[in-house]
Amino acid sequence: MENFSIYFHIPYCKSKCPYCDFFKKVEKNIDQEGLISSYIKELEYYKQLLPQRKVRSIFFGGGTPSLIEAKYIEKLIDKAACLWPFDDKIEISLEANPNSNHDHMFSNLKLSGINRISVGVQALNDSDLRFLGRTHTLKDALTSIDEILKIFDNHSIDLIYARPEQKIKSWLEELKLAASFGLKHLSLYQLTIEEGTVFARRGIKALDEKQAAEMYQTTVDFLRQCGYPRYEVSNFATKPYQSVHNKVYWQGDDYIGIGQSAHGRLKIDGKHYAYTDPHQAELLSNQERATELVIMGLRLEEGIDKAHFKNVSGLDFDDFVNQKNLKEMIKAGFVLNTPTSIKATDKGFRLLDKIILELCC
């Protein structure tokens, strides 16, 4: 029985952060029951499409999923469990903000079926939290971290680095604090100023590219020493605690997306489909799917398994990529290529966009 994963997009936020370019809705009164009812109907649609599958992972992302009451999260999990068998080691993750302000929020989420929690901390000082437009304080963040450590066995926080004028020394202080908590996983995202965001309209400039690259390498080296090896460009954890769900994206496995702006990838009867909500399907060629696999797979420290690449795309990796450019990438020390896999080196991780472009052209 083939595995697949489910992504639920919860689009609501208390406010929109000035760096954010994701689809979000800022609403005080959310029709939670109506939202969940519509998502249950979507699950029933996909049951007809995927009758003989097993659920490998579920992820509640957003937006701010922790604005939704735990009883409604439980309804979605229970409905999915009624429609498909769950993998014995299913990962069920939810993104939370430190100040979603439900009584007993984290303990209720654990009771609802969530077994992995990710908290959007973003910065570990109050001045940068204000700059980033976050509505929580450092005290709120530390309280949340303390709670999730007590309640969950699998936990993560998000932080944003390469903020304007940020110094490596001050960032290392935050990393030391983050590494001291005993969390199982860290996600660290470089601040980029996207067109259309509040920061872009204000003329805010991200940290200089060279400085950002140096900060990134310092981060990788420091966290490796602290027991958080990089396993994907922005994610750090020992193998037992690597995100099962996110690896579904990076490895090119099947998943469905439910909610406005959500999307999915499915292979049905040997054909590739890109799905967008509400279940609009676009047929992808083998070449298009293979390109996606290169783009996503090289983000992983372990790189691309060539047998898996062929199983998913139907194409042989070495036949698909530009061999002339591949040889140049190998010679330059940007990638390590074996008969069974290909992966970026430390040097190559800094130039992933260039490598991907060269291999897929």
User: What CATH number is associated with residue 322?
Assistant: 1.10.10.920
The CATH number assigned to the domain holding 23 equals 3.20.20.70
How many structural domains comprise the chain? 2
**pLDDT, mean of residues 151-166:** 96
Residue 311 has pLDDT above 80, yes or no: yes
Residue 194 has pLDDT above 90, yes or no: no
Distance CA(119)–CA(96), nearest Å, equals 5
Does 312 fall in a domain? Answer: yes
CB 263 within 8 A of CB 253: no
Does 271 fall in a domain? Answer: no
* Per-residue pLDDT, 23: 65
* Per-residue pLDDT, 205: 87
The whole-model pTM stands at: 0.96
Distance CA(281)–CA(273), nearest Å, equals 6
Same domain, 125 and 21: yes
Distance CA(248)–CA(119), nearest Å, equals 20
Helix, strand and coil percent figures for the chain, each rounded to 5 = 45, 25, 30
**pLDDT, mean of residues 98-124:** 93
What six digits make up the tokens of 309?
């690449």
* Per-residue pLDDT, 67: 93
H, E, C per residue of 230-245: EEECCEEECHHHCCHH
Pairing of strands 235-237, 185-190: antiparallel
Does 97 fall in a domain? Answer: yes
Residue 257 has pLDDT above 70, yes or no: yes
Phi, psi (rounded to 5 degrees) for 181? -70, -30
Q: For a pLDDT cut of 90, what percent of the chain falls above it?
A: 85
- Which residues, in sequence order, are CB contacts of 173 under 8 Å at separation 6+? none
CB 335 within 8 A of CB 326: yes
CB 123 within 8 A of CB 129: yes
Residue 103 has pLDDT above 90, yes or no: no
Residue 277 has pLDDT above 90, yes or no: no
Which residues pair with residue 186 across a beta bridge? 157, 236
Q: For a pLDDT cut of 70, what percent of the chain falls above it?
A: 99
pLDDT bin (cut points 50, 70, 90) of residue 141 is: very high
Same domain, 223 and 295: no
**pLDDT, mean of residues 286-291:** 97
Cα angle 72-74-79, degrees, rounded to a multiple of 5:
100
* Per-residue pLDDT, 74: 98
**Last residue in a domain, options 230, 246, 262:** 246
**pLDDT, mean of residues 231-256:** 98
**pLDDT, mean of residues 314-331:** 97
Same domain, 230 and 158: yes
Same domain, 149 and 202: yes
CB 242 within 8 A of CB 235: yes
* Per-residue pLDDT, 24: 57
pLDDT bin (cut points 50, 70, 90) of residue 359 is: very high
Residue 99 has pLDDT above 80, yes or no: yes
Same domain, 51 and 147: yes
Residue 163 has pLDDT above 90, yes or no: yes
Does 96 fall in a domain? Answer: yes
- Render pLDDT for 26-46 as a digit per residue (tens, 0 to 9): 777 899 999 999 999 999 999
- The residue range of the domain holding 189 is 2-246
